Amino acid sequence: MSWVKRAPIRFAVILIVAIWSLPTTGLFVSSFRPQSEVATSGWWTVFSHPFEESTWTVSNYSGVLDASGLWRAFGNSVVITLPATVIPITIAALAAYAFAWMRFRGRRTLFAIVILLLVVPIQMTLVPLLRLYTRLDLSGTYVGTWLAHAGFGLPLAVYLLYNYISSLPRELMESARIDGATHWDIFRRLVIPLSTPALASFAIFQFLWVWNDLLVSLVFLGTDGEVATLIARLNELVGSRGEAWHILTAGAFVSMAVPLVVFLSLQRFFVRGMLAGSVKG
């Protein structure tokens, strides 16, 4: 029977999902445990006495939500993440169309340079970029952080969108040109609507990366309460020695709310966008 043959595969999938979800489960359970319990025992011990009143608490979430400056940091994260997602998508879509359907001198060389930028570690660029920002008075500003995130995300964005846009039917492009459409008309009326899955896929990646970023925000924004992001603020709540990491367990789930909404809203495009351009013909 078919279900018997598929049983090992299903069991393997369930096992992998369970193992993959185990750390998140432990984090979630710990977010409802008192500080004393978190510091002295593992999260799995709650199942030995799950119904005792002292086992569970919401004080960790209260401590996060009542923290000074948290909601301002939440707003800062939104202000930083949205432009830092839209800017690279817009530029990458234009560049991907140019590399895929426009013929100009040095096109392949420029595309190769873009791909090579994928292997450049971000850490190598932080100090030179910060020195440049200091001279231009962009350090500690939203604009500087937008540009940094856009620059770091552009190589991957161009690569992903190029794979999709270059796989669009050539006959469709040629028909549009015969009808007198310019490159801008083709890009705006044909390429963008047809590339929605790829655009949404990269939007998910970029949004999650920028929202959860700590390194770039600390380097270019610092911990000033006026511009600090949510992740940077939660990092401060933990303490310099990690003595309040039980707060981090609750803060992790608070910070997950917005990315989860974004992912669920765009998930129907995600798989289509990831497979786009992988098979031609």
Residue 35 lies in a domain: no
Q: Where are the alpha helices (DSSP H) in the chain?
A: 2-30, 35-40, 59-65, 70-101, 107-116, 122-136, 142-165, 170-178, 183-186, 192-194, 196-211, 215-220, 230-238, 245-255, 257-275
Which domain, by its residues, includes 267?
69-275
Which string of DSSP letters, residue by residue, matches 11-31? HHHHHHHHHHHHHHHHHHHHT
Task: Give, rounded to a whole angstrom, the gap between the first and last alpha carbons of the chain.
Answer: 35
Which residue carries 């140019």 as its tokens?
98
| Mean pLDDT, residues 140-150 taken together | 91
Residue 252 lies in a domain: yes
Residue 190 lies in a domain: yes
| Mean pLDDT, residues 222-247 taken together | 76
Provide the CATH number for the domain around residue 180.
Answer: 1.10.3720.10
Residue 144 lies in a domain: yes
Residue 73 lies in a domain: yes
Residue 281 lies in a domain: no
pLDDT at res. 158: 93
Taking Cα atoms as reference points, which of 148, 153, 114, 142 lies closest to residue 129? 148
Q: What is the pLDDT of residues 149-167, one digit of tens each?
A: 999 999 999 998 998 898 8
Q: What is the pLDDT of residues 106-140, one digit of tens each?
A: 888 999 999 898 888 888 888 899 899 989 888 88
- Lookup: tokens for 182: 């310019």
- Lookup: tokens for 98: 């140019």
- Rounded distance between C-alpha atoms, residue 57 and residue 30, angstroms: 10
- Under DSSP, the state recorded for 184 is H
Q: Which residue has the higher pLDDT, 267 or 61?
A: 61
Q: Rounded to whole angstroms, what are the CA distances from 185 to 95, 99, 133, 169, 194?
A: 15, 17, 37, 16, 13
Residue 37 lies in a domain: no
Res 82 pLDDT > 90: yes
Domains: count for the chain: 1
Residue 38 lies in a domain: no
Q: What is the pTM of this model?
A: 0.82
Res 85 pLDDT > 90: yes
- Lookup: tokens for 175: 């028909």
